[in-house]
A and B are shown apart, each in its own frame.
Chain A
Amino acid sequence: MRIRAHPIIDFKKRAELPFYFQKKKLVGEDGDTIASALHATGVRTLTTSLKYESPRGFFCGIGKCSSCLMRVNGVPNVRTCIAPLKEGILVEMQEKLAELPDAEFFGEPKKTIDVDVLIVGAGPAGLCAAIESATQGASVLIVDENQCVGGQLVKQTHKFFGSKQEHAGTRGIDIAKELENDLRRLECEGKIQVMTDATVIGCYENDKKHRFGVVERHEYKSRLYDVRCDAVILACGAMENMLLFPGNDLPGVYGAGAVQTLMNVYGVKPGERVLMVGAGNVGLIVSYQLLQAGIAVDRVVEAAPFIGGYNVHAAKLRRCGVLIQTSHSIKEVCGEKKVEGAVVVRLDENWKPIKDSEEYIKCDTICLAVGLTPSTRLLSQIGVNLEFIPEAGGYVAPHDGAMQTSVKGVYVAGDASGIEEASTAMIEGKIAGLASAILLGRSKNKKLLAQYREELAQLRAGPFGEKPRIAKEKIAKLAEAHHA
């Protein structure tokens, strides 16, 4: 199930890494996660649910949904979608509640880190925030759950729109490389500390500075960091939304982001024939990328009576002969232990299924591109004021023009501040990074801040910027009301 020929990405064969799954020897490649290596060998069922013992597979691909928990070298509950594959490891299915390993555990002593700015998440917003803040003279620690930085950029093979400052015309994967180069340069200069495969676990009581716990994961050897900072920028992204329909938990039902990760990061086919649910930009772009990877897209169904994404993406799909059905949705998935097909249904003007309009589709993969929800759990725990704004994707933190929330020194940027896209996330990151440096007295460049804000307004000026514009206007009003 490896992709070898691809028009954009060069999936050269990488070094082989043998490992064991249920005592059977399998071979993955250097750079794989455990789940991507299993997928490449055709293993799609990773675990079973505890209550009903139904099979579960790769769903989110970013360590958030817990449907890929497995036992690795005896350690239970490992999130195999983000855990790096290593040579010779023993991977087992966890059929029941976790058993504890029969091995020594050497915890590393707690360490304290003092920095000006902590950045949570190394996606487009977090990377830009880190680079900006450090360039202005602040000391920065950036933490990410994954083994590599770049967030969702590392799987975005399409060229970006917008203006030149925001990398228009460049592919997401190349932007990720550029940003990582800048980050590593600042890391070499000692201005930024980068921590990957690590989780910010919570905000804790402290007198003057903000205080966070960070766990850096190592097998049998994890380390807890006590991080104190004057400002924190939460750029922790978003989570894929789920749809309710029978069979939505079967292996073969993926979030769109997970499909993108599998094929564009690891070069692994999610399946052979896909039903795409949702015709927003994500649904359209991922459908096209599936075709590029040599995977058939049966059709795209969209519950709304219109296509939500850019016309240019829809047109590309149509030219390839892919049917886009508006006012249609998925009714159920067919199959016992895995996806074998699906039933789609036509919807009336009230989004209710029309009787006898069901159609059976043969496919082995369902891809859900039905929106995202901002990750706000850390914000909520800090005690930041949160409001429900449907246009922003759910609960978000009202923030001012400098991306500062209701708590002093706590900033948001990117999808965590309201669902938008990578170009605006990058400018929001720059704004938050610069504003935090100004707050700490490391910079006085208010002119640059105004310039960034102008760029952000321009990006949102187009007709497709309407929804985020409405969302951000609501957010600004709420922030003002809160300050008053």
Chain B
Amino acid sequence: MKSKADVVIIGGGVNGCSLAYRLAKKGLDVVVVEKKYLSSGATGACGAGIRQQWSTRENTQLAIQSVKIFEQLSSELGQDIEFRQGGYLIAVHDEKEMKQSEKNVAMQRSLGLKVDILKPEEITGVVPILDVKGMRAIGATFCPTDGHANPFRTTFAYADAARKHGAEINTHTTVIDVKTAKKAIHAVVTDQGTIQTNVVVNVAGIDSKTIAEMVKVKLPLTPFRKEILATERLQPLFEAMVISFKDGIYFSQQKEGQIVGGIPIPEEKGGYKTMPTLAFLSHMAQTLTRYAPVLKHVNVLRHWTGFYDMTPDARPILGEVKGVKGFIQCSGFSGHGFMISPMVSFLLTELIAEQKTSEVLESLSLERFKGKNIEKELSVVG
């Protein structure tokens, strides 16, 4: 392992690896340290959706620009990341939700996104297996350029490209301490050795709280266990991701044919819990077959858990932390870290390599939690 680097990235998920790639491409000497293996945290456990339909302007902007990057990422990285644009269909269940949807769609359209509001009878035109009555929908919104990519392939492709540009990626390496001197980052101590550096990026997902404590920074993060199931493989039935904010369900059909989706269990509270629950399996099966009754015949093959690193406003914490020079924050994605990763790494690369900041980064700094008027992202699912 190198003993010196321009930047040390803590965490080998999709955000850590994409940042490593972009920084290395700019000619910086980058070292990644990952406690387990690449994509072993939230990235590898995620639902793999890529959505642009958000309620806050920042998230919508980040997502639209991220999709532009995703569209050409396979050719940029030289590996197929299995990006597909089957759209996102968001079920709308009542008048209150419809009002919020209309507001969201107006804002999204103002940013150039193509989004439609569907009547109930138009829903099965997009996803034929849905039972509109069963899902109790009065309408839906649909964005055809939303989609899906393979989180493992994306992360590995970024990591390979990063290595080609000289980045060093160390898996099975645990950070023991982050040293500061004169309120600035000085070194990262790991179980495999110490790396001298002036810049640390904290992309450690739910463990980023522990990393931040090493430099006496408190992050308002709560881990929420989230569960996902995958069924056996079926012939192609639909292309869109179907989601509902009210029921919390989301599901899509993967390229290989399996249905993958999740739902929060009603009584779930935050905490470090990793065991899957039988309550999820029942609740998901019941809701999924209410939405698409034909799926009653399908067997579940796998079921796993991962974490959302929730912030109070369900938006990420990005950028340099005040008071610790060189400590760059990149976590708190609250369940949508994969889909905005292209823009997150782009903006942080500008910040680290060119000291360029942006309006979006400013609005997502840790500092915002000191203010009183925090705008909460409402369009959170799962």
- Distance A110 CA – B275 CA, assembled complex (angstroms): 20
Kindly identify which residue among B232, B235, B277, B299 contacts A96, using a CB–CB cutoff of 8 Å.
Answer: B235
Q: What B residues does A76 contact at CB under 8 A?
A: 232, 234, 297
Is the pair A97, B296 in contact by a Cβ cutoff of 8 Å?
A: no
**Restricting to B224-241, which residues have a CB under 8 Å from any CB of A?**
232-237
Given the known inter-chain contacts A100-B294, A105-B297, please indicate yes or no for A204 contacting B278, CB distance below 8 A: yes
- Distance A383 CA – B298 CA, assembled complex (angstroms): 28
Is the pair A110, B297 in contact by a Cβ cutoff of 8 Å?
A: no
In the complex formed, the residue of B with least CB distance to A213 is B278
Is the pair A202, B276 in contact by a Cβ cutoff of 8 Å?
A: yes
Kindly identify which residue among B233, B275, B281 contacts A50, using a CB–CB cutoff of 8 Å.
Answer: B233
Given the known inter-chain contacts A77-B299, A105-B296, A202-B303, please indicate yes or no for A98 contacting B232, CB distance below 8 A: yes
A101 on interface, CB distance cutoff 8 Å: yes
In the complex formed, the residue of A with least CB distance to B299 is A77
Nearest chain A CB to B45 CB, angstrom units: 15
What string of 1s and 0s marks CB contacts (under 8 Å) between A80-108 and chain B? 00000000000000001111110101010
Is the pair A224, B282 in contact by a Cβ cutoff of 8 Å?
A: yes
In the complex formed, the residue of A with least CB distance to B258 is A97
- Distance A103 CA – B294 CA, assembled complex (angstroms): 9
Is the pair B277, A204 in contact by a Cβ cutoff of 8 Å?
A: yes
Is the pair B297, A100 in contact by a Cβ cutoff of 8 Å?
A: yes
- Distance A429 CA – B76 CA, assembled complex (angstroms): 57
- Distance A226 CA – B297 CA, assembled complex (angstroms): 20
Kindly identify which residue among B236, B276, B294 contacts A204, using a CB–CB cutoff of 8 Å.
Answer: B276
In the complex formed, the residue of B with least CB distance to A105 is B296
What string of 1s and 0s marks CB contacts (under 8 Å) between B259-290 and chain A? 00000000000000101111001100000000
Given the known inter-chain contacts A75-B297, A100-B298, please indicate yes or no for A226 contacting B233, CB distance below 8 A: no
- Distance A306 CA – B234 CA, assembled complex (angstroms): 48
**Restricting to B273-330, which residues have a CB under 8 Å from any CB of A?**
273, 275-278, 281-282, 294-300, 303
Nearest chain A CB to B338 CB, angstrom units: 25
Q: What A residues does B232 contact at CB under 8 A?
A: 76-77, 98
In the complex formed, the residue of A with least CB distance to B298 is A100
Q: What A residues does B237 contact at CB under 8 A?
A: 100
- Distance A25 CA – B281 CA, assembled complex (angstroms): 40
The tally of residues in A whose CB lies under 8 Å from a CB in B reads 25
B257 on interface, CB distance cutoff 8 Å: yes
Is the pair B297, A101 in contact by a Cβ cutoff of 8 Å?
A: yes
Is the pair A211, B278 in contact by a Cβ cutoff of 8 Å?
A: yes
Q: What B residues does A201 contact at CB under 8 A?
A: 300
Q: What A residues does B276 contact at CB under 8 A?
A: 202, 204-205
Nearest chain B CB to A208 CB, angstrom units: 14
- Distance A96 CA – B303 CA, assembled complex (angstroms): 24
Nearest chain B CB to A66 CB, angstrom units: 10
- Distance A205 CA – B275 CA, assembled complex (angstroms): 5
Given the known inter-chain contacts A50-B233, A97-B235, please indicate yes or no for A205 contacting B299, CB distance below 8 A: no
Q: What B residues does A99 contact at CB under 8 A?
A: 234-235
The tally of residues in B whose CB lies under 8 Å from a CB in A reads 22
Nearest chain A CB to B264 CB, angstrom units: 14
- Distance A77 CA – B231 CA, assembled complex (angstroms): 12
Is the pair B277, A100 in contact by a Cβ cutoff of 8 Å?
A: no
Q: What A residues does B273 contact at CB under 8 A?
A: 205
What string of 1s and 0s marks CB contacts (under 8 Å) between A216-234 and chain B? 0000100010100000000
Given the known inter-chain contacts A75-B297, A101-B297, please indicate yes or no for A226 contacting B278, CB distance below 8 A: yes
Q: What A residues does B277 contact at CB under 8 A?
A: 204-205
- Distance A103 CA – B296 CA, assembled complex (angstroms): 10
Q: What A residues does B281 contact at CB under 8 A?
A: 204, 213, 224
What string of 1s and 0s marks CB contacts (under 8 Å) between B2-34 and chain A? 000000000000000000000000000000000
- Distance A202 CA – B281 CA, assembled complex (angstroms): 11
A322 on interface, CB distance cutoff 8 Å: no
Is the pair A98, B235 in contact by a Cβ cutoff of 8 Å?
A: yes
Is the pair A98, B282 in contact by a Cβ cutoff of 8 Å?
A: no
In the complex formed, the residue of B with least CB distance to A201 is B300
Q: What B residues does A226 contact at CB under 8 A?
A: 278
A194 on interface, CB distance cutoff 8 Å: no
Nearest chain B CB to A374 CB, angstrom units: 21
What string of 1s and 0s marks CB contacts (under 8 Å) between A109-140 and chain B? 01000000000000000000000000000000
- Distance A211 CA – B280 CA, assembled complex (angstroms): 14
Q: What B residues does A459 contact at CB under 8 A?
A: none
Among A50, A75, A105, max chain B CB count under 10 A is at A105
What string of 1s and 0s marks CB contacts (under 8 Å) between A55-87 and chain B? 000000000000000000001110000000000
Nearest chain B CB to A226 CB, angstrom units: 6
A203 on interface, CB distance cutoff 8 Å: yes
Is the pair B257, A97 in contact by a Cβ cutoff of 8 Å?
A: yes
What string of 1s and 0s marks CB contacts (under 8 Å) between A190-213 and chain B? 000000000001111100000101
Nearest chain A CB to B324 CB, angstrom units: 36
- Distance A210 CA – B234 CA, assembled complex (angstroms): 33
Q: What B residues does A224 contact at CB under 8 A?
A: 281-282
Nearest chain B CB to A94 CB, angstrom units: 10
- Distance A218 CA – B372 CA, assembled complex (angstroms): 58
- Distance A339 CA – B92 CA, assembled complex (angstroms): 57
Is the pair A110, B282 in contact by a Cβ cutoff of 8 Å?
A: yes
Is the pair A98, B296 in contact by a Cβ cutoff of 8 Å?
A: no
Q: Residues of A with Cβ closer than 8 Å to B?
A: 50, 75-77, 96-101, 103, 105, 107, 110, 201-205, 211, 213, 220, 224, 226, 383
| 5 A-B contacts (beta carbon < 8 Å) | A97-B234, A100-B298, A205-B276, A205-B278, A213-B278
3 tightest A-B contacts by CB?
Answer: A205-B275, A105-B296, A204-B278
